[in-house]
């Protein structure tokens, strides 16, 4: 077994225009000061990393790595959540998702999608140059407007959508294979890959691609009333990344899973800072350790109530307290009698 690495922090939700959150060096120093050992980097802000440059220049990638290492941290993974979203967009969401793309591509969905695909390929190459082994993204969604089957979905549309999704992602996955990087989909509402079944459907359509792996985030499963512990039993071989994020689901007689169009603070299901929600992290860390998860435990902070800096400070200690230092020997070794084949056969009477 392997001791899970951490604590680490995904800095996307902390980036801003004021110090120490406005450049890579200062945000790393801030994270290190809280006790973090790693940072997961978003790739849509050149103040932190120029993705194309990191893909094309090992020297530049080494410079980025050096800035992080100088703060006493490691880069855990790169994130292409926003770019991955743009690989597959249903036209109903075109205007809403235009904000994820450079301004000159807005209103041009075909060009925007082509740009997103290239971004994903850059991330594979940049990850290799940085010495990483995994990267996280979203799958995008062609079917999400039809998530609930009313009006009735047209016959065959689900298969058509997953065929198209696989057609778009397979060449990307092949680039990740060429670079030795696991591409981990964050299973998330709003994506066509939002639970175990949809992931299995996708995996079937990409012919079980070796690099089509998973980021495990239990918070999204609490909000779906999905068994997030059994999920680890089912998919542990594909779980290569881990977001440590809390959530709670408190249905009432007035609202449930769908939330009644309320804002986050008034929803039955909402994300919380670590330790403030309902996720059983002791069991999660135990299961991941049991299955020899070899990656990082990365805080993703999202909470409708608590200040982010408090969430980050508390989260570092929370993760540290939950990481299980694996044992190097069996607890009952003291009672071992020692044996050989002859002894075993004699004991069995054979």
Three-class secondary structure assignment of 42-54: ECCCCCCCCHHHH
Per-residue pLDDT, 335: 66
Q: Across the chain, what does the average pLDDT equal?
A: 97
Buried b (16+ CB within 10 A) or exposed e, 307-337: ebeebbebbbebbeebbeeeeeeeeeeeeee
Q: Is 141 left (phi over 0), alpha (psi -120 to 50) or beta?
A: beta
- 213-229 average pLDDT score: 98
Task: Give the total residue count for the chain.
Answer: 350
Residue 339 has pLDDT above 90, yes or no: no
Residue 209 has pLDDT above 90, yes or no: yes
Query: CA torsion angle for 24, 241, 58, 16 (degrees, to 10)?
Result: -20
pLDDT confidence tier of residue 336, bands split at 50, 70 and 90: confident
Which structure tokens are listed for 63?
């410079």
Q: How far apart are the C-alpha atoms of 167 and 81, rounded to whole Å?
A: 19
Which structure tokens are listed for 121?
């390929």
Per-residue pLDDT, 334: 65
Per DSSP (E only), the strands in 161-256 are 182-186, 212-216, 239-244, 246-249
pLDDT confidence tier of residue 338, bands split at 50, 70 and 90: confident
Nearest-CA neighbor of 294 among 11, 5, 57? 5
Per CATH, the homologous superfamily of domain 5-348 is Divalent-metal-dependent TIM barrel enzymes (3.20.20.150)
> By three-state DSSP, how is residue 112 classified?
helix
φ, ψ of residue 112 to 5 degrees: the values are -60, -45
- 155-178 average pLDDT score: 98
Q: How far apart are the C-alpha atoms of 40 and 58, rounded to whole Å?
A: 19
Q: In DSSP terms, which residues pair with 41 in a beta bridge?
A: 78
Residue 149, Cβ neighbours under 10 Å: how many? 8
Per-residue pLDDT, 52: 98
Cβ proximity of 274 and 314 under 8 Å: yes
- 67-82 average pLDDT score: 98
Q: Which of 211 and 333 is assigned the larger pLDDT?
A: 211
Q: How far apart are the C-alpha atoms of 277 and 271, rounded to whole Å?
A: 8
Element spanning 173, H or E: helix 157-179
Buried b (16+ CB within 10 A) or exposed e, 69-100: eebebbbbbbbbbbbbbbbbbbeebeeebbeb
Residue 125 has pLDDT above 80, yes or no: yes
Tokens 């801003």, residue located: 16
Per-residue pLDDT, 135: 98
Instruction: Please give the share of the chain, as a percent, with pLDDT higher than 90.
Output: 94
């Amino acid at each position: 077994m392997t001791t899970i690495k951490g604590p680490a922090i995904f800095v996307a939700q902390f980036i801003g225009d004021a110090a120490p959150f406005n450049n890579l060096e200062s945000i790393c120093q801030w994270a290190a000061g809280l006790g973090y050992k790693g940072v997961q980097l978003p790739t849509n802000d050149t103040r932190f990393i120029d993705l194309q440059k990191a893909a094309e220049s090992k020297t530049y990638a080494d410079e980025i790595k050096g800035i992080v290492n100088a703060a006493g941290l490691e880069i855990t993974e790169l994130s292409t959540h926003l770019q991955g979203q743009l690989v597959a967009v249903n036209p109903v969401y075109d205007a809403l998702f235009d904000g994820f793309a450079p301004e000159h591509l807005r209103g041009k969905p075909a060009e925007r999608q082509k740009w997103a695909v290239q971004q994903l390929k850059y991330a594979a190459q940049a990850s290799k140059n940085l010495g990483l082994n995994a990267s996280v993204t979203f799958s995008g969604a062609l079917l999400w407007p039809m998530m609930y089957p009313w009006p009735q979905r047209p016959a065959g549309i689900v298969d058509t959508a997953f065929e198209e999704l696989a057609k778009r992602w397979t060449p990307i996955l092949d680039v990740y294979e060429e670079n030795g990087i696991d591409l981990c989909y964050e299973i998330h509402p709003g994506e066509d890959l939002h639970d175990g079944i949809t992931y299995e459907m996708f995996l079937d359509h990409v012919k079980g691609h070796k690099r089509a792996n998973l980021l495990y985030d239990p918070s999204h499963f609490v909000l779906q009333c999905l068994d997030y512990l059994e999920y680890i039993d089912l998919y542990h071989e594909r779980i290569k990344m881990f977001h440590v994020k809390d959530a709670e689901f408190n249905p009432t007689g007035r609202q449930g899973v769908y939330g009644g169009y309320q804002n986050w603070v008034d929803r039955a299901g909402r994300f919380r800072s670590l330790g403030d929600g309902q996720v059983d992290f002791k069991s999660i860390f135990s299961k991941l350790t049991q299955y020899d998860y070899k990656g990082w435990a990365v805080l993703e902070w999202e909470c409708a109530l608590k200040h982010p800096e408090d969430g980050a400070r508390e989260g570092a200690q929370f993760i540290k307290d939950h990481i299980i230092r694996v044992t190097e020997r069996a607890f009952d070794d003291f009672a071992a009698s020692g044996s050989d084949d002859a002894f075993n056969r004699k004991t069995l009477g054979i």
